[in-house]
Amino acid sequence: MDVLNGLLNGFQTALSFQNLYLCFIGCLWGTMVGVLPGIGPLAGITLLIPATFGLSPTGAIIMLAGIYYGAMYGGSTTSVLMNVPGESASVVTCIDGYKMTLKGRGGAALFISAWGSWIGGTLSIVGLMLLAPTLANVAMKFGPPEMFAVLLVAFVLLGSLGSGSFFRTMPMVFLGLLIGTIGMDPLTGSMRFTHNVHELYDGIGLLPVAMGAMGIGEILFATEETLVKVIHKIKFRDLWPTRPELAASWGPIMRGSGIGFVIGLLPGSAHVLSSFVSYITEKRLAKRPEEFGTGRIEGVAGPETANNAASGSAMIPFLSLGIPTGPAPAVMMIALLIHGIQPGPMFITKHPDVFWGLIASMYIGNVMLIILNVPLVGIFVSMLRIPFRILFPVILLICLIGTYSVNTSSFELAILLGFGIPGYFARKIKYDIAPLILAMIIGPTMELSLRQALMRSDGSFLIFWESPITMTLIGASALLVLWNIYRALRPTAASWEKALEEGT
Amino acid sequence: MRFFASILALALVAAGAPAIPAAAADYPAKPITLINPNAPGGGHDAVARAFASVAEKMLGQPVVVLNKAGASTMLGMTAVAQAAPDGYTLGVDSTTTTNALEWELANGRKPPLTRAELVPIGGLTVNVPIVVIPAGSPWKTMADMIADLKAKPGFYAFCSGGLYGGTHLPVEVLLQATGTKARHVPHKGGGPCLTAVVGGHVHFANQWPASSIPLAQGGKLRILAVQGDKRLKSIPDVPSMKELGIDAQWIQWLGISATKKTPAPILARVREVVKKVAEDDAFGKLLESQGAEARYLSGEEVARFIKAEADVVGKIYKVLLAEDKGKK
Amino acid sequence: MTNDRAASLLFLASGAYGLYFSVQLPMGTWNQPGPGIFPAVLSFLLLLSGAAWFIRGKGKQRAADEGGRRGAIAVAKNLATPLKIVGLTALFVLSFNLVGYLLAASLYLFILLLWVSRYGIAFSAVLAGAIGLASWIFFGKILAVPLPQGFLPF
């Protein structure tokens, strides 16, 4: 077997002392940048590129990849404990994760998310190893019409994300989509809603909005009443998930692995999209979907698994074609180029040592990460014992540094603060802000792919009915809409209002 | 607490604590900030970081790369223009900035800075786009492609990594030189556009050699021509536009600039470093691996480049904007 | 006025703003969709959903949306602390390019601890200085994150 041989050789490479050490440094560094809000895998990798100049190419990519998938482990920490999304991929984790912390189950949420991350991460490496060249070709089939169809499904699902009613969620979704259109229109160069402010030309950054509306909003809300008392009392035995919690998270973890792996192949914000599709899937499948948003373990297990699975498959187009689908793989590709290695269709045959060394190191790295992260859960959770009136200035400061560091600009801080205020009021009157943020993510790509598709087909909508992929996806979203209407209409006239209230 | 201490210790090892210079001349006496107006991860970022790593050895002071992306490099370059004229803030200047400024002017908007506020110190690299088509395309040569483009004006579609960017303008130059028309489908970044070519979603594109050549070697796409005056070393059997008799050359340069009023001695010192880096072997190899070429250009040469490309780009923008108006 | 109505006014205002500016952009054609069409449709939908919500917000008290129906007074309560924090943060952001990160951050923490958390002067000063310095070393030196610099070297 080719794969077996390759893998054995890979393990030989990866288990050398130096490569093990580099893998560990990468994972540790990744966990750290993942935990710190705002400083994501991209910044982490970019900062360490100069350090890789003196290394072997295999060692360099092992370390950088470690940062990349390691950051997804750390991302859930601040989301669960403080409602501050550590990465944009962890926005969804905030919804149920933070509620679990308020109930005193924060430790369990973090434990399950580490566990799910490990399974999702490992399964996606298996997929990467066995299917890389095949899947890369499938990914190339994804043109604008297919991309639009995927996002259409996501859009239809968005309405059912919030914990409130469907009608309460929809304005948030539209507002988020509208915010996403700010900046230069990529297809015509027209400026939209920029009012000659140059900082707005590239649109409003996602992370400042997410951290502001969710994190800062939550801090402002919490300082209202709970300043003097310790907010969360946590006993040590509460750190571990209970048997029912473990049992309930099996399904989400397995489904999350699959969802994350498939969506990770798509270009753009695959991590965010995968976590959010996983969340909605779990909500749809749940016996009591109305309990989502109140602290269900399924709402943490699924998304956190999915975003780790996406890290594995996001490396497929980059390794087997040399086409990075996101900024972090793009930086890794440059690191390989610096060492004179060209990722591309010939990469696996020309440099089997690098490819298999990387694959093997990813298995090892994921094991290191779970060993690293489980004790960290205890440490981070016990940080909540620090009085909140000392903790909150520190969290604020970290949010500010993280936001500033992305682009060294005070403008992003103004956005952070500017969205913190509405976030605070939304929190106060129990409006869900997550749908707005997710709409901001899918909006620009959705518009772009729709318009690109129409430009290519010369204005014919038939382009969306040409490939089996688009047919299936558009059929699915139509069915979802019909199902929503049916659920709304099914009850008698007397309970009509009530049905709307509960939403879909 | 011991745990955190060990994290810190490891982090220090990993970050490779910057070397402390033994002795420094008058300039530079403190670390230099190199503002890169592009987002981390692009080709420009790799060049900037490679330059910084070589330059700091020559200058004996750390050269810190600071990404300040936004408004297609205008935000970062504005920061360079507004920095104190002491040589401690330098900027990564390129054709992209010219394109962005000309676009603002063509639309009658006031750009945040003008070329006059910057002084080019020297050029480091030049990069020439290549014409790529899907592997299954019927076109065998550039002549096939132009004949088809002429036969069906506006039928064939091409993609770019961004509107009026470094991979869109060369196509417009080509189309105007051959008197043809094609439909433009802008994508967000070079990656998605390459995907569109490989997947056969568009008919052609002009892309950078770095990412395209491996795909061509793997049989995922084909290369018809190099949009410059000579063939590329890495693809010796692909003809250049000049050979083919098409007057549609395009060059993307990248160099180092500072704010005007920077004292001449400091400019001279930096120029010396730029020249040395551009002629450095390791730097040349890195650029070659990306399909670009390390070539030192003096400040005056860069200034001429800028003037020439501003003219060309300005004209293209006028034609395109007039066409857009015609459609409405 | 209920909270839902207040929120719907915000949606209506954003929708009106969006519609006003997006109709000024070219709408394009089917084969060349313009930059205006997407935001215009969205603004319209936002207006529509905002209006629907405004009308529904009038309804009687219901348990499911209890938060939304609480009077506007409840929202206006306890604004003092959040207001202080927002104001101080804005001041911090405005000042750090002038005096540099280390000084601005320490001062910011000090005032927060003293004024919002109501610790004593000595305790606040020591803690603020310690956290400020630690964050400067950790982010600025170890992680090499670019921090704002003033006229001072730190």
* C-beta atoms of A424 and C135 within 8 A: no
pLDDT band at C76 (very low <50, low <70, confident <90, very high): low
- Select from A323, A332, A466 the residue whose CB has the most chain B CBs within 10 Å, as the one to mutate to test that interface: A323
pLDDT tens readout for residues A337-360:
777 787 888 888 888 889 999 999
A68 vs A170, residue with greater confidence:
A68
Share of chain B above pLDDT 70, in %: 89
Contacts of B290 (CB under 8 A, 6+ apart): A337, B43, B46, B47, B208, B209, B210
Quote the distance between the C-alpha of residue C42 and its chain's center: 23
Residue of A nearest to C55 (CA): A167
CA atoms within 13 A on the CB side of A380: 27
pLDDT tens readout for residues A227-252:
544 455 556 667 788 888 889 999 99
- Select from C56, C60, C61, C89 the residue whose CB has the most chain A CBs within 10 Å, as the one to mutate to test that interface: C89
Cβ contacts of B125 on chain A, cutoff 8 Å: none
The pLDDT, as a whole number, for residue B135 is 92
Q: Strands B157-160 and B183-186: what pairing?
A: parallel
Cβ contacts of B157 on chain A, cutoff 8 Å: 455-456
Average pLDDT over residues C21-44: 88
Residue of B nearest to A32 (CA): B7
- Point out the residue among B40, B50, B163 whose CB comes nearest to the CB of A46: B40
Phi, psi (degrees; rounded to nearest 5) at C25: -90, 155
B46 vs B139, residue with greater confidence:
B139
DSSP, collapsed to helix, strand or coil, labels residue A496 as helix
pLDDT band at A406 (very low <50, low <70, confident <90, very high): confident
Contacts of A350 (CB under 8 A, 6+ apart): none
CA–CA separation, B117 and B80 (whole Å)? 9
* C-beta atoms of B8 and C29 within 8 A: no
- Beta bridge partners, B157, equal B183
Q: Strands B252-259 and B118-127: what pairing?
A: antiparallel
DSSP, collapsed to helix, strand or coil, labels residue B126 as strand
- Point out the residue among C32, C43, C93 whose CB comes nearest to the CB of A410: C93
Starting at the edge strand found earlier in the chain, the sheet holding B252-259 runs B63-67, B32-36, B89-94, B252-259, B118-127, B293-298
Query: What DSSP line would sit under A54-87, residue for residue?
Result: TS-HHHHHHHHHHHHHHHHHHTHHHHHHHS--SS
Residue of C nearest to A420 (CA): C86
* C-beta atoms of B286 and A337 within 8 A: yes
Average pLDDT over residues B226-250: 88
B327 vs A161, residue with greater confidence:
A161
pLDDT tens readout for residues A84-127:
887 888 888 998 998 888 888 888 999 999 999 999 999 999 99
Minimal Cα–Cα distance from A328 to chain B, Å? 7
Does the CB of A390 have a partner CB in chain C at under 8 Å? yes
Residue of A nearest to C60 (CA): A497
Q: Give yes or no for residue B8 having a pLDDT over 70.
A: no
Minimal Cα–Cα distance from C61 to chain B, Å? 48
Average pLDDT over residues B211-219: 86
Q: Give yes or no for residue A160 having a pLDDT over 70.
A: no
The pLDDT, as a whole number, for residue B9 is 44
pLDDT band at C19 (very low <50, low <70, confident <90, very high): very high
* Nearest Cα to Cα of residue B170 among B118, B99, B231: B99
The pLDDT, as a whole number, for residue A287 is 83
Q: C24, A152 in Cβ contact below 8 A? A: no
Does the CB of A383 have a partner CB in chain B at under 8 Å? no
Q: Give yes or no for residue B22 having a pLDDT over 60.
A: no
pLDDT mean across residues, chain A: 84
Signed CA dihedral, A407, B56, A52, B123: sign only: positive
The A residues from 275 to 314 touching C (CB cutoff 8 Å) are none
* C-beta atoms of B191 and A323 within 8 A: yes
The pLDDT, as a whole number, for residue C66 is 46
Share of chain A above pLDDT 90, in %: 25
CA–CA separation, B153 and C4 (whole Å)? 55
DSSP, collapsed to helix, strand or coil, labels residue B125 as strand
Does the CB of C78 have a partner CB in chain B at under 8 Å? no
Residue of A nearest to B53 (CA): A50
Average pLDDT over residues B203-225: 89
Alpha-carbon radius of gyration of chain C: 24
* C-beta atoms of A25 and B10 within 8 A: yes
Minimal Cα–Cα distance from B45 to chain A, Å? 9
ipTM of the complex: 0.89
Q: Which amino acid is at C55?
A: I
Cβ contacts of C138 on chain B, cutoff 8 Å: 8
- Select from A29, A39, A192 the residue whose CB has the most chain C CBs within 10 Å, as the one to mutate to test that interface: A192
pLDDT mean across residues, chain C: 83
A490 vs A39, residue with greater confidence:
A39
Average pLDDT over residues C124-131: 94
- Point out the residue among C50, C82, C113 whose CB comes nearest to the CB of A393: C113
* C-beta atoms of C26 and B328 within 8 A: yes
Domains of chain B, start order: 16-126+253-315 (3.40.190.150), 130-250 (3.40.190.10)
Does the CB of A378 have a partner CB in chain B at under 8 Å? no
Partners of chain C (3+ Cβ pairs below 8 A) = A, B
* C-beta atoms of C93 and A165 within 8 A: no
Signed CA dihedral, C38, C40, C46, C51: sign only: negative
* C-beta atoms of C144 and B327 within 8 A: no
Minimal Cα–Cα distance from C45 to chain B, Å? 26
B236 vs B286, residue with greater confidence:
B236
* C-beta atoms of C144 and B8 within 8 A: no
Q: Give yes or no for residue A318 having a pLDDT over 60.
A: yes
pLDDT band at A421 (very low <50, low <70, confident <90, very high): very high
Average pLDDT over residues A276-303: 87
Quote the distance between the C-alpha of residue B74 and its chain's center: 14
pLDDT tens readout for residues B282-291:
788 777 776 6
Partners of chain A (3+ Cβ pairs below 8 A) = B, C
Query: What DSSP line would sit under A454-475, residue for residue?
Result: HHHHTS-GGGGGSSHHHHHHHH
The A residues from 123 to 152 touching C (CB cutoff 8 Å) are none
Minimal Cα–Cα distance from A356 to chain C, Å? 30
Residue of B nearest to C147 (CA): B66
The pLDDT, as a whole number, for residue A162 is 58
Average pLDDT over residues A290-302: 88
Cβ contacts of B15 on chain C, cutoff 8 Å: 142-144
pLDDT band at B297 (very low <50, low <70, confident <90, very high): confident
Q: Give yes or no for residue A299 having a pLDDT over 50.
A: yes
The pLDDT, as a whole number, for residue C132 is 94
* C-beta atoms of B8 and C146 within 8 A: no
* C-beta atoms of A43 and B164 within 8 A: no
Q: Give yes or no for residue B189 having a pLDDT over 80.
A: no
Q: Give yes or no for residue B178 having a pLDDT over 80.
A: yes
Minimal Cα–Cα distance from A136 to chain C, Å? 30
* C-beta atoms of C39 and A181 within 8 A: yes
Average pLDDT over residues A400-424: 89
Cβ contacts of B201 on chain A, cutoff 8 Å: 143-144, 456
The pLDDT, as a whole number, for residue B68 is 82
pLDDT tens readout for residues A430-443:
788 888 988 888 88
- Point out the residue among A223, A459, A502 whose CB comes nearest to the CB of C81: A223
The pLDDT, as a whole number, for residue C74 is 59
CA–CA separation, A212 and A424 (whole Å)? 9
Residue of C nearest to A431 (CA): C68
- Point out the residue among B15, B327, B328 whose CB comes nearest to the CB of C142: B15
Contacts of B40 (CB under 8 A, 6+ apart): A42, A43, A46, A327, A331, B67, B69
The pLDDT, as a whole number, for residue C111 is 94
- Point out the residue among C32, C142, C153 whose CB comes nearest to the CB of B327: C32
Does the CB of A425 have a partner CB in chain C at under 8 Å? yes
Signed CA dihedral, A400, A78, B40, B163: sign only: negative
Signed CA dihedral, A447, A449, A455, A457: sign only: negative
pLDDT band at C75 (very low <50, low <70, confident <90, very high): low
The pLDDT, as a whole number, for residue A22 is 93
* C-beta atoms of C90 and A417 within 8 A: yes
CA–CA separation, C132 and C150 (whole Å)? 15
Cβ contacts of B66 on chain C, cutoff 8 Å: 146
Average pLDDT over residues A470-487: 82
The A residues from 398 to 417 touching B (CB cutoff 8 Å) are 407-409
The pLDDT, as a whole number, for residue B24 is 36
CA–CA separation, A72 and A90 (whole Å)? 8
* C-beta atoms of A330 and B191 within 8 A: yes
* C-beta atoms of A174 and C42 within 8 A: yes
Average pLDDT over residues B104-111: 85
**Which of A142-156, B273-287, C35-49 ranks highest by mean pLDDT?**
C35-49
Cβ contacts of C145 on chain A, cutoff 8 Å: 39, 43, 401, 405
